[in-house]
């Protein structure tokens, strides 16, 4: 809640409720009276209050840490992304370093899916408005839809979701129960016309690339498929070091108001117990929250904490009884009759843009080796050793390590400082000793350790670390 504007948030009734040990004036800002720029400018004083001193201290520390890690500042400094006024706000462009991170995340997510029967599909970024009228998104998204005017009497929309497109692909074949589940995967960019004032860096954008996937399955298959998705989520976030303190919201229906939900009570009970059984089987730290389900189905939302304790809702698994109905989807069951599949929407990272923003701050720009855009730099101590440095560079590149070289005329100290400012994981200093021994002097940016190993050892260690 602490990120909300306090004016809209909880209020203390009297200042006497404030305890000087857990209260702090934070900052000031200019503000026009009632937001009207024609009126006089006043000074707004921001303060924060907590239950006790420890909570205040933790908050202050978190804020200081957050400031150091701000992904917008690191994004510019490390050449990860840029926003151009000609392109527009909320439409960040990924520079080569940023694209390396994104591609590693995307490829890793896909590698976790491909042996579980998922198949990649590709769909365009627009569709006729008819598609979203059929799906209900036109009514639901309203002004957030980017409308596209065709020149031939056709009205299009930029897609706000991928599901309707994936339903069209599913509907193109007549499936049998033997084919189920069908699992589509597409990391695809959707567009939403968010308010310009709310846009920021990579976390509040108008172009949102979901690592999206849709499963079409039978009710009896829910538990098994949810189990697979849960195992993928756990593996992914374990790799990123974020599973120490997370929790899962099992959002279910409120049985007292069945009229709020689509589908029979029996299907809901099966669906909710399938989700809960999967949660138990995988020992998820879940809370069952009644009345929090969407009208179209129950869901599991995963809340992970980053390195400085901030909570982010990232992965999600949502059951959907609504869209299969709206698109009249079916498969042929054992009795030769048409039966309606259930749909699961799932995302592991949530959106690649927001997830990248979170990762930049989580790692404070010092990425684990597999994610790091700049893994290694070779620094010769003098011009005499440029040849050996080039050989080292080539060996690293041949081993698929992202390596570069500093052949500038700068002094050694300056070269090392430059490399450290760019947060390159390993600096390999090479001179006479290294050339003779076919070795490298390694400086580890993260641990600040310095070691001397053979080039081959360094390559082997790095490849293992990347794995």
| Residue of 125, 288, 305, 326 that binds a copy of itself (CB under 8 A) | 125
Contact with a copy of itself (CB under 8 A) among 87, 220, 289, 366: 87
| Residue 74, H or E segment | helix 71-77
Asked if 204 is part of the footprint of a copy of itself (rule: CB under 8 A), the reply reads: no
Piece of the chain touching a copy of itself by CB under 8 A; list 193-201, 263-271, 290-298, 449-457: 193-201
The helix (H) or strand (E) run that includes residue 466 is helix 455-466
Tell me which of 211, 212, 320, 406 is the catalytic residue. 212
143 binds a copy of itself (CB under 8 A): yes
Of all helices (H) and strands (E), which one includes residue 165? helix 163-170
Q: How far apart are CA 375 and CA 463, in angstroms?
A: 11
Residue 209 CA to residue 351 CA, distance in Å, equals 5
Q: Which is nearer to a copy of itself, 150 or 258 (by Cβ)?
A: 150
C-alpha neighbours within 13 Å on the C-beta side of residue 92 = 28
Residue 299 annotated among the catalytic residues of the structure: yes
CB of 81 to a copy of itself, least distance (A): 9
Calpha distance 170→123 (Å, rounded) = 12
195 lies in the binding site for a copy of itself (CB under 8 A): yes
Within 218-310, strands assigned E span 247-252, 286-290, 299-305
Residues 341-380: x where in contact with a copy of itself by CB under 8 A, - otherwise, as a string: ----------------------------------------
Determine the 3-state secondary structure of 348 from DSSP.
strand
| 88/291 with CB nearer a copy of itself | 88
Binding-site size for a copy of itself (CB under 8 A) equals 60
Stretch that binds a copy of itself, among 63-71, 184-192, 212-220, 245-253 (CB under 8 A): 184-192
Q: Specify the residue for token string 């720029």.
A: 37
Among 47, 88, 258, 291, binds a copy of itself (CB under 8 A): 88
Would you tell me how many other CB atoms lie within 10 Å of the CB of residue 48?
17
Would you count residue 86 as binding a copy of itself (CB under 8 A)? yes
- Tokens representing residue 364 in the block: 């404070």
CA dist 404 → 36, 401, 421 (Å)? 53, 9, 15
For residue 399, state whether it binds a copy of itself (rule: CB under 8 A).
Answer: no
Distance from the first to the final alpha carbon of the chain = 38
Shortest gap between Cβ of 293 and a copy of itself (angstroms)? Answer: 28
Q: How far is CA 370 from the centre of its chain?
A: 17
CB 321 within 8 A of CB 176: no
Decide: is 127 part of the binding site for a copy of itself (CB under 8 A).
yes
Query: In the annotation, is 69 catalytic?
Result: no
Q: Could you say which of 214, 362, 374, 415 is catalytic? A: 214
Of positions 146, 246, 367, 458, contacts a copy of itself by CB under 8 A: 146
The minimum distance between CB 274 and a copy of itself, in angstroms, equals 26
Spot the catalytic one: 69, 159, 206, 345.
345
100 binds a copy of itself (CB under 8 A): yes
State yes or no: residue 150 binds a copy of itself (CB under 8 A).
Answer: yes
Least Å distance, CB 352 to a copy of itself, is 9
> Who's near 194: CB < 8 A, 6+ residues apart?
90, 144, 204, 205, 206
Contact code string over 38-77 relative to a copy of itself, x by CB under 8 A: ----------------------------------------
Q: Which residue of 189, 239, 249, 422 would you call a contact of a copy of itself, by CB under 8 A? A: 189
In terms of CB distance, is 56 or 208 closer to a copy of itself? Answer: 208
The reply on whether position 187 binds a copy of itself by CB under 8 A is no
Which region, judged by CB under 8 A, interacts with a copy of itself, from 124-132, 259-267, 274-282, 339-347? 124-132
Stretch that binds a copy of itself, among 1-9, 121-129, 220-228, 362-370 (CB under 8 A): 121-129
Decide: helix, strand or coil at residue 71: helix
Cα 377 to Cα 92, 207, 323, 345, 425: the distances in Å are 28, 33, 51, 42, 8
Distance CA 356, CA 103 (A): 11
Annotation marks residue 345 as catalytic: yes
Regarding 196 and contact with a copy of itself (CB under 8 A), the answer is yes
Q: Is 115 helix (H, G, I), strand (E, B) or coil?
A: helix
Nearest to 58 by CA among 354, 305, 368, 367: 305
Nearer to a copy of itself, 313 or 421 (CB): 421
- Least distance to a copy of itself from the beta carbon of 109, Å? 15
Alpha helices per DSSP H over 180-221:
none
Q: Is 210 a catalytic residue?
A: yes
Which helix (DSSP H) or strand (DSSP E) does residue 137 occupy?
Answer: helix 137-141
d(CA 300, CA 317): 5
The upper half-sphere exposure of residue 443, i.e. CA atoms within 13 Å in the direction of its Cβ, equals 18
Closest by CA to 218, choosing from 296, 301, 294, 321, is: 321
Instruction: Write out the catalytic residue numbers.
Output: 163, 192, 210, 212, 214, 299, 345
Q: Would you tell me which residues interact with a copy of itself (CB under 8 A)?
A: 79, 82, 84-88, 91-96, 98-100, 102-103, 115, 119-128, 130-131, 134, 143-144, 146-152, 154, 156, 158, 164-165, 168-169, 171-173, 184, 189, 191, 193, 195-196, 206-207, 397
């Amino acid at each position: 809640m602490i990120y909300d504007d306090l004016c809209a948030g909880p209020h203390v009734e009297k200042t006497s409720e404030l305890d000087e040990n857990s209260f702090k004036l934070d900052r000031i800002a200019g503000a026009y009276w009632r937001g009207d720029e024609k009126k006089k400018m006043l000074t707004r004083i921001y303060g924060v209050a907590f239950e006790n001193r420890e909570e205040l201290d933790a908050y202050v520390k978190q804020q200081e840490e957050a400031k150091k890690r701000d992904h917008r500042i690191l994004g510019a400094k490390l050449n990860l992304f840029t926003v151009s006024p000609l392109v527009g706000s909320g439409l960040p462009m990924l520079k080569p370093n940023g694209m390396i991170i994104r591609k590693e995340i995307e490829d890793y997510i896909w590698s976790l899916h491909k042996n579980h029967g998922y198949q990649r599909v590709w769909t365009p970024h627009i569709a006729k408005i008819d598609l979203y009228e059929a799906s209900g998104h036109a009514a639901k998204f309203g002004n957030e839809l980017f409308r596209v005017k065709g020149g031939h009497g056709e009205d299009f929309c930029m897609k706000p979701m991928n599901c309707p497109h994936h339903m069209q692909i599913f509907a193109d074949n007549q499936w049998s129960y033997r084919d189920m589940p069908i699992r589509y995967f597409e990391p695809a960019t959707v567009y939403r016309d968010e308010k310009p004032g709310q846009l920021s860096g990579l976390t509040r954008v108008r172009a949102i690339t979901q690592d999206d996937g849709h499963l079409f399955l039978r009710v009896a298959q829910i538990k098994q498929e949810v189990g697979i998705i849960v195992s993928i989520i756990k593996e992914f976030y374990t790799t990123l070091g974020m599973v120490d303190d997370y929790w899962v919201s099992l959002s279910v229906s409120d049985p007292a108001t069945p009229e709020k939900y689509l589908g029979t009570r029996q299907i809901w009970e099966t669906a909710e117990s399938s989700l809960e059984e999967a949660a138990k089987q995988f020992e998820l730290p879940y809370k069952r929250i009644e009345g929090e389900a969407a009208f179209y189905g129950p869901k599991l939302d995963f809340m992970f904490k980053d390195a400085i304790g901030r909570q982010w809702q990232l992965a999600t698994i949502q059951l959907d009884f609504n869209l299969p109905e709206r698109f009249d989807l079916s498969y042929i069951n054992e009795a030769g009759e048409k039966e309606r599949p259930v749909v699961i929407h799932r995302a592991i990272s949530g959106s690649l843009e927001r997830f990248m923003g979170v990762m930049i701050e989580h790692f404070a720009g010092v990425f684990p080796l597999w994610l790091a855009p700049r893994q290694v730099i070779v620094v010769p101590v003098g011009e005499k050793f440029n040849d050996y440095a080039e050989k080292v560079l080539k060996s690293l590149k041949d081993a698929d390590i992202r390596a570069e070289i500093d052949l500038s005329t700068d002094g050694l100290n300056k070269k090392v400082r430059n490399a450290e400012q760019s947060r390159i994981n390993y600096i390999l200093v090479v001179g006479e000793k290294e050339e003779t021994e076919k070795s490298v002097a390694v400086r580890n940016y993260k641990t600040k350790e310095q070691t001397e190993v053979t080039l081959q050892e360094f390559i082997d260690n790095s490849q293992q670390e990347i794995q």
